[in-house]
């Protein structure tokens, strides 16, 4: 073989070796490759053995070129070997198909979550958050709300009493907080109250003797029914999405006049009619109205120069619609598997 023939041969061997090496994917193949090129009878041994046959002045140059090529291939060989080792190790040391372990993430109760969402919306409008006692007096729960003794409207709230005179009771709504706040703070004021309320209703899918309410009150000079509508539509669209439609219809509460019952277009069917909305397309969500002058009077405010509106809603009902819960009892079972869904 001449010098040129050797170099040409070397070139081919290197090209072929690289090409073959790239395709190799396991240990057996790479060992065969090593033997083929660098084994005792391998191609490099072959080509090296040809060196003594060429002219002496070209020997050292040819030798260098062979060595360089050999080094280059050996390096590629080592890299490939390392890659194969890693690959096999990672395939067998760890099973990546086993799912990760999800941590036990602590959760707030959905009633707290919904309450916070409501609070957040009203805080944007400058409302303060207030609370009141759950054990109430007849005065705050009924009388100050324009329901004197023997008022037929008292039948709207089936009440738990704590004394024989029926003067102490578990509040049936959060409306007493209105009166307590108006006795303490002077207008202008805007507040919401959130808390537990109690009614003598037996448990079923939509009734619970204990539930939560949010109550709102805004009092100032020149507050109008039109303001009530704007605030409540803002609230409901923030809570249920901007596409929700809101309907106001007349209603009756002794402590508001005019009174309204407010419904939203069904969040399940969008108003077409379904089981949740009783095929009506509407869901009752809020009771509201302009504060009755008698309530101002009983709270010690001069009603000549002020007007106001008030509203109330059940937190559980809102949560049920928001999350698609169909049984109010779920809230009080405190099943970890229930609470964990709201994280």
- Residue 41 class from Cβ within 10 Å (0-12 exposed, 13-18 middle, 19+ buried)? exposed
Is 257 annotated as belonging to a binding site? yes
Residue among 4, 204, 249, 327 that touches other proteins (CB under 8 A): 249
d(C-alpha 10, C-alpha 50), whole Å: 11
Exposure on the CB side of residue 227, measured as CA atoms within 13 A: 16
Contact flag: residue 236 with other proteins (CB under 8 A): no
Contact flag: residue 335 with other proteins (CB under 8 A): yes
Kindly tell me which of 107 and 183 has the beta carbon lying closer to other proteins: 107
Contact flag: residue 233 with other proteins (CB under 8 A): yes
* Look-up of token digits 């890693």: 86
Partners of residue 191 on adjacent β-strands: 128, 217
Q: Which stretch binds other proteins (CB under 8 A): 28-36, 66-74, 77-85, 219-227?
A: 219-227
Instruction: Choose from Zn ion, other proteins, none: what does 38 bind? Cβ within 5-8 Å by kind.
Output: none
Kindly tell me which of 20 and 284 has the beta carbon lying closer to other proteins: 284
Kindly tell me which of 1 and 280 has the beta carbon lying closer to Zn ion: 280
Those residues whose C-beta lies under 8 Å from the C-beta of residue 71, and which sit 6 or more positions away, are: none
To the nearest whole angstrom, how small is the minimum distance from the Cβ of residue 301 to other proteins?
Answer: 15
Contact flag: residue 109 with other proteins (CB under 8 A): yes
d(C-alpha 61, C-alpha 64), whole Å: 5
Compute how many other C-beta atoms are within 10 angstroms of the C-beta atom of residue 157.
Answer: 19
Looking only at residues 138 through 167 of this chain, which bind other proteins when binding is defined by CB under 8 A? 150, 152-153, 155-156, 160-164
- The answer to whether 134 and 127 are in contact (CB under 8 A) is no
Kindly tell me which of 100 and 106 has the beta carbon lying closer to other proteins: 106
Contact flag: residue 332 with other proteins (CB under 8 A): yes
Compute how many other C-beta atoms are within 10 angstroms of the C-beta atom of residue 254.
Answer: 19
Known binding-site positions for Mg(2+): 257
């Amino acid at each position: 073989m001449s010098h040129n023939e050797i170099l040409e041969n070397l070139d081919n061997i290197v090209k072929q070796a690289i090409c073959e090496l790239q395709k190799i994917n396991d240990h057996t193949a790479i060992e065969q490759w090593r033997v083929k090129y660098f084994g005792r009878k391998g191609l490099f041994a072959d080509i090296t053995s040809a060196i003594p046959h060429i002219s002496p002045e070209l020997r050292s140059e040819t030798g260098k070129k062979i060595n360089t090529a050999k080094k280059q291939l050996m390096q590629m060989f080592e890299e490939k070997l390392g890659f194969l080792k890693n690959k096999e190790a990672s395939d067998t040391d760890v099973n990546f198909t086993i799912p990760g372990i999800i941590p036990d993430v602590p959760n707030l109760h959905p009633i707290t979550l919904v309450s916070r969402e409501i609070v957040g919306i009203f805080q944007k409008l400058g409302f303060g958050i207030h609370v009141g006692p759950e054990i109430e007096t007849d005065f705050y729960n009924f009388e100050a709300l324009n329901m004197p003794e023997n008022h037929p409207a008292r039948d709207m709230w089936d009440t738990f009493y704590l004394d024989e005179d029926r003067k102490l009771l578990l509040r049936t709504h959060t409306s007493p907080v209105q009166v307590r706040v108006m006795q303490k703070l002077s207008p202008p004021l805007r507040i919401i109250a959130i808390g537990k309320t109690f009614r003598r209703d037996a448990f079923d899918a939509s009734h619970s003797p204990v539930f939560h309410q949010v109550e709102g009150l805004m009092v100032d000079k020149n507050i109008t029914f039109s303001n009530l509508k704007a605030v409540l539509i803002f609230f409901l669209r923030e809570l249920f999405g901007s596409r929700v439609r809101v309907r106001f219809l007349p209603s009756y509460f002794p402590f508001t006049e005019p009174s309204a019952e407010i419904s939203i277009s069904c969040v399940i069917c969008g108003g077409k009619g379904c089981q949740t909305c009783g095929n009506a397309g509407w869901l009752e969500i809020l009771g509201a109205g302009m504060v009755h002058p008698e309530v101002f009077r009983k709270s010690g405010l001069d009603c000549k120069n002020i007007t106001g509106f008030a509203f109330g809603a059940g937190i559980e009902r809102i949560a049920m619609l928001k999350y698609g819960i169909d049984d109010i009892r779920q809230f009080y079972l405190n099943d970890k598997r229930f609470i964990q869904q709201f994280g």
